[in-house]
Amino acid sequence: MPKSLAVLERDLREIFSARLQSVVQYATRARRAAADSHGGAHDGHALVHTLAIVDTITAADLRACAGHVIAWHGAGLATPLIVAGHEFARSLDVFPLEFGAIVADHVVVAGRNPFTGLHVDPRDLRRACEVQARSHLLHLREGFLETAGRADALAVLIVDSAPAFAALLESIARLEGAADDAAAVTRHAERTLNVAGGIVSDVVRLAGVTEISSAEAERIFPAYLEAVERLVKFVDGWQAR
């Protein structure tokens, strides 16, 4: 656990005193995966994400926290999410993907586990996945029109959209209760969608690159678009088993 978390807890304790219920680090699996890809060393640009649960939040609290943000960033910490205790549970139906991911992948740094007994309703998660999938499909269609037929612009569209596509697959894997490492998510999507061989993994791997050739873009896009169309249909008709 990064030493900077102890500093964060100390700072939050000074600001909120007894009102600080818990400090949680989240997205820990993604951070470990990034470390593995760098030979065991954490990427210096990968900030540590945290959530603080407090009794109440005032404007004075926010001003005090704002005074620490530059130091927190310098220590490798993302700006913490600060949420009142009653707000998190009542927001699960509104942010089932975002808050559900925190519940599913976290480490308690200080205080009690704030997520005991909490779970995301599968219906809320399905609805959020559908919004995510339909938005991605609309983005691809609109983006294709805006390329005006230029293959180099299509290459940019595909590369820029690849991280969002990978995130969409992770959301659907969570909906299905499938394993959430990148390789397992990709295999699950390929089995579920029954699309042209390799297209899902082709696009997912682009989440880590900066450019592709025009020829590769023209090869990938039709199958990529079909895969997203199938994702929309799948999520639209999904029912809990």
Q: CB count, 10 Å around CB of 54?
A: 23
pLDDT given for residue 74 in this prediction: 96
The predicted-structure confidence for 148-202, as pLDDT tens digits, reads as follows: 999 999 999 999 999 999 989 888 888 887 756 677 777 778 887 877 668 888 9
The CA-atom distances, in angstroms, between 76 and each of 29, 182, 223 are 17, 24, 39
Q: In what order do the strands lie in the sheet with 49-54?
A: 81-84, 49-54, 20-26, 106-111
- The distance between the two most distant Cα atoms of the chain, rounded to a whole number of Å, is 60
Q: All domains of the chain, ordered by start, with CATH?
A: 4-111 (3.30.460), 122-236 (1.20.120)
pTM for the predicted model, two decimal places: 0.77
Residue 25 has a pLDDT of 96
DSSP state of 74: H
pLDDT at 30 (0 to 100): 56
Residue 180: per-residue pLDDT = 61
Query: Quick one: angle between helices 122-146 and 151-176, nearest 10?
Result: 170
Tokens representing 114?
């704030």
User: At a CB cut-off of 8 Å and minimum separation 6, what does 82 contact?
Assistant: 51, 52, 54, 57, 61, 62, 65
- Look at the alpha carbons of 190, 195, 201, 203 in this order and tell me if their dihedral is positive or negative: negative
Q: What is the pLDDT along the chain (241 residues), one digit of tens a residue?
A: 678 999 999 999 999 999 999 999 998 765 554 444 444 444 555 789 999 999 999 999 999 999 999 999 999 999 999 999 989 989 999 999 999 889 988 999 999 999 998 888 999 999 999 999 999 999 999 999 999 999 999 999 999 999 999 989 888 888 887 756 677 777 778 887 877 668 888 999 998 889 999 999 999 999 999 999 999 999 999 887 6
∠ CA 51-57-63, rounded to 5°: 90
DSSP assigned state of 44: T
How far does CA 105 lie from the centroid of its chain?
Answer: 11
Q: Are 165 and 228 in contact (CB under 8 A)?
A: yes
Which token pair is 207? 């989440």
**Parallel, antiparallel, or unpaired for β 106-111 and 49-54?**
unpaired
Residue 210 pairs with which residues in a beta bridge?
none
pLDDT of residue 143: 98
Which residue bears the tokens 């599968």?
122
CA distance 191 to 194: 5
- What integer pLDDT is reported at residue 68 of this predicted model? 97
Integer Rg of the chain from CA: 20
Question: What is the model's pLDDT at position 102?
Answer: 92
Task: Determine the pLDDT at residue 32.
Answer: 52
pLDDT at 14: 97
Residue 38, pLDDT score:
42
- Between CA 212 and CA 44 the distance in angstroms is 26
How far apart are alpha carbons 1 and 4 in whole angstroms? 9
Q: Are 118 and 83 in contact (CB under 8 A)?
A: no
